Amino acid sequence: MKNKKIGIMGGTFDPIHTGHLVVANEVLNFYGLEEIIFIPAGDPPHKKGTMAGSFDRYIMTEMAVLSNHKFKVSDIEIKKEGKSYTLNTLTELTEKYPDAEFYFITGTDAVIELPSWREPQEVLKLCRFVAVSRPGISMDEAAVKISEINKMYNSSIELFQAPMLKISSTDIRQRFKTGKSAKYLLPESVEQYIIKNNLYGSNDLR
Ligand code: ATP
Ligand code: MG
């Protein structure tokens, strides 16, 4: 009997922001999850110039969740060289927590990419899949896409309406690069870490 509900939220978290934290908390409340594990992705083999490395992304994610004892961070993907497949990560987690039911949380922008993942059908078998609303894709559009995917894989991905927060790491990186404030879009501790460590070309903000 699976008696522990655990949320999983993967991402590059480059950097982690308020959007990630708010939607994770909404899903945790709604489904009565015991905890959510944030899993920063490993560095891609050919990293682009403006991105932070896995160590910094991991530390920022740790800082962001520090005040919430139900939020955890796993280094399972950053410990590995190159790209990790969700299938492998979920398989490892299933072995580590045999009595857990996993809720895999993604934004609607990420879930529509699912057919291009490695063995989506297997991934869908290992967890309950929750797609949270995100500005850029309407709920109607997302519902149509998700029902197509569900038909394709005989799965039951659920669409979850979270507060629509138009926050993205891409926009935050751009703000640091151009000397514009990103305050309140991300935790203050993470903002300070970025400035202190000169990430994303943030030197003008010191
Ligand atoms: P980038 O702009 O670099 O792609 P991002 O803001 O999309 O960054 P990711 O690390 O790519 O952040 O996202 C991790 C997961 O969180 C994905 O499933 C993504 O869809 C979801 N997500 C990110 N931001 C939001 C948001 N504002 N609302 C809902 N879901 C989000
Ligand atoms: Mg993204």
Q: What's the CA gap between 83 and 85, in Å, rounded? A: 7
Amino acid identity for residue 38 in this structure: F
User: What are the tens digits of pLDDT across the range 9-67?
Assistant: 999 999 999 999 999 999 999 999 999 999 999 987 776 655 899 999 999 999 999 99
Mean pLDDT of 141-167: 97
| Cα torsion through 67, 73, 79, 82, rounded to 10 | -110
1 CA to centre of ligand 1 in angstroms = 32
* Angle, alpha carbons 94-99-104 (nearest 5°): 50
110 lines ligand 1 (CB under 6 A): yes
Alpha helices in the chain (DSSP H): 18-31, 54-65, 86-96, 108-111, 120-126, 139-153, 169-177, 188-196
User: What are the tens digits of pLDDT across the range 96-136?
Assistant: 999 999 999 999 999 999 999 999 999 999 999 999 999 99
Q: What's the CA gap between 159 and 136, in Å, rounded? A: 15
**What's the pLDDT at 49?**
56
**What's the pLDDT at 2?**
80
Cβ contact 60:190 at 8 Å: yes
Residues β-bridged to residue 39:
10
Ligand nearest to the CA of 136: 1
Residue 202 has pLDDT above 60, yes or no: yes
11 lines ligand 1 (CB under 6 A): yes
Cβ contact 199:56 at 8 Å: yes
Residue 144 has pLDDT above 90, yes or no: yes
Give the three-state DSSP class for 97.
coil
Residue 206 has pLDDT above 60, yes or no: no
